[in-house]
Amino acid sequence: MSPDPKAPADPASPFAPANGQVVLERHEDDYSLQLVISSDERRCLASIVPTRAASDLLDEQRLLRDLEQGGICDGVRLEAIRDFCQKACKGENQRQVVLAATEAPQKGKDGWLELKVRLAGSANEGGFVENEKGQVDLYTLNLFTCVEPGQEIAVLHPPEEGVSSFTVTGKLLPAESGAEAEVRLGSGLHRDGDRFVADLAGRVEWSEQVLAVSEDYVIHGDVDLSVGNIRFPGNVFVRGDVLDDFDIRCGKNLTVVGNVGACHLIIDGDVSLGSMAGKNEGLVKCGGNLKARYLNSVYIECLGDVVVDNEIRNSVVKSGGAVLLPGGQISGGETVALKGIEAKIIGATAGVPTRLCAGVYFPENDRLAFLKSQQKSLTLQRKFIHHCLGPLEKQVTQAGETPGALEKRLQILRDRLVLIDKMEADIKRELSQFTFGEHPGNAKINVQRLIKEQVRIQLGTVSDELRFEQFGPLSIIADPVRGLLSFNEYSPLTINADDMEPQEPAADPNADDSLQQGSRVP
């Protein structure tokens, strides 16, 4: 029977109303004793009112029998019983002394999600990492883990059973099991039993019980020391600026709302920038298209189109598509495009040269130029080493025996010659196998308003430097028969230069016209 929440008081009892069930109450000449089981049945509380002090007033065995009589069989505290009896024998009143107690049942541990990766903003953010030399890169923070498809990102642990208990009367108190962890499946991953596996390359997001893999990394402010260099396999979106010396590499697209400083941006997809001032150190390589408002002192390699609203100034821009500034200016630097160039104004003032080349696929041209440059460098190195070897060998002959220092210098030079032989053979083999691929282009430059003097133009085999400005709109194509540039009536880049007829040069033999100053590229 469950104990009453509050047993009624006996008018003749020296005890206050009990908060629980009175299982024993005895009144003798020497004392009055009461045993009460608490309302939760996990404690037995004893009260005693002695009328006198006596060493044999109440012994432990008698009290233990009283507890047994009251049904108390679990959680008995022998020390508390001994102390209770000793105080009773001294004639001390005692109220609500716990003589037996049991533990509450323990609820089982709830299920939980174990993340196998580091999340941005978590307590275990990566922070600075030392390399093998003990050096720390202050620009690389490793704020979160970038995951790859097939990578395990989390494990769901089931809830655990609780630990049961008993009342002081021996009744079982069942424990509550832990709750299942709530995990809702987001995008970019799948569940394999209790494992969660990424389907996409990106970063893990765990918010409001939703687990997902996102291909997007959004920086709500600037890329600075609080963010560090970025290396991410998906899309990167920067709402602020990218400060000098911070680099971004991403496997998809990059968008920067603000300005970019002297940084390196290596992007597999498209790039969209507010503006970029590279200070002759900025670099952009992208596998898609590039859009910007303004580019200054930047080196750019872009396999798609380059579209700039205002100006490209003192920059090297190489495009596998077209370079388009229909309302802007190309001022200084070098611009190379496979599918043509179009700008409102081309050229710079104060004698700054501007170089344009259209109809060329720059990756192949650059590779060929690199191989030839390396070949020339190796030839010069070989010549220099042979120049040094003669005097050294002569010194050895005169000395009669080879001193250690001379021998070491000779060996270094000979080893270098062996390496040069190997490198020259590799370059020669690659050059012999080198062929230009099929890359349909458009060797054409469109000028909307003005092209200034000192603009160097190369279209196919024809190259010319303009000595006088020309007003547009006009289209410039090559006249390979005459070895001249042809300034034709304007036509859009959708019309290929191969489908156009070069314009006849001016007939006046006395005209000092730079348009007739063509020269072939050797």
Confidence of residue 121 (pLDDT cuts 50, 70, 90): low
| Distance, CA of 374 to CA of 377 (rounded, Å) | 5
- Nearest to 232, CA basis, from 211, 210, 246, 253: 253
- What pLDDT does 405 receive? 74
Mean pLDDT of the region 142-166: 92
Which residue ranges make up each domain of the chain?
20-101, 112-214, 379-433
- What pLDDT does 132 receive? 67
Mean pLDDT of the region 170-180: 93
Confidence of residue 468 (pLDDT cuts 50, 70, 90): confident
Mean pLDDT score of the chain: 88
pLDDT in tens, 295-336: 999 999 999 999 999 999 999 999 999 999 999 999 999 999
The separation between CA 38 and the C-alpha centre of its own chain, rounded to angstroms, equals 59
- Is the CB of residue 479 less than 8 Å from the CB of residue 502? yes
Buried (b) or exposed (e) across 210-239, using 16+ Cβ within 10 A? Answer: ebbbbbebebeebbeeebbbbebbbbbbbe
Mean pLDDT of the region 197-210: 93
Give 516's DSSP letter: G
pLDDT at 522 over 60: no
What stretch of H or E contains 203? strand 202-207
- What pLDDT does 140 receive? 81
- Nearest to 141, CA basis, from 71, 60, 232: 232
pLDDT at 11 over 70: no
- What pLDDT does 489 receive? 94
Confidence of residue 395 (pLDDT cuts 50, 70, 90): confident
* Rounded percentage of the chain residues whose pLDDT exceeds 90: 71
pLDDT in tens, 404-435: 777 788 888 889 999 999 999 999 999 999 88
Confidence of residue 126 (pLDDT cuts 50, 70, 90): low
* Rounded percentage of the chain residues whose pLDDT exceeds 70: 90
pLDDT at 239 over 50: yes
pLDDT in tens, 89-117: 999 999 999 999 999 999 999 999 999 99
Of the options 3.30.70.580, 3.90.79.10, 2.40.50.100, 3.50.50.60, the CATH number for the domain spanning 112-214 = 2.40.50.100
- What pLDDT does 189 receive? 95
pLDDT at 72 over 80: yes
Q: Which residues pair with 324 in a beta bridge?
A: 307, 342
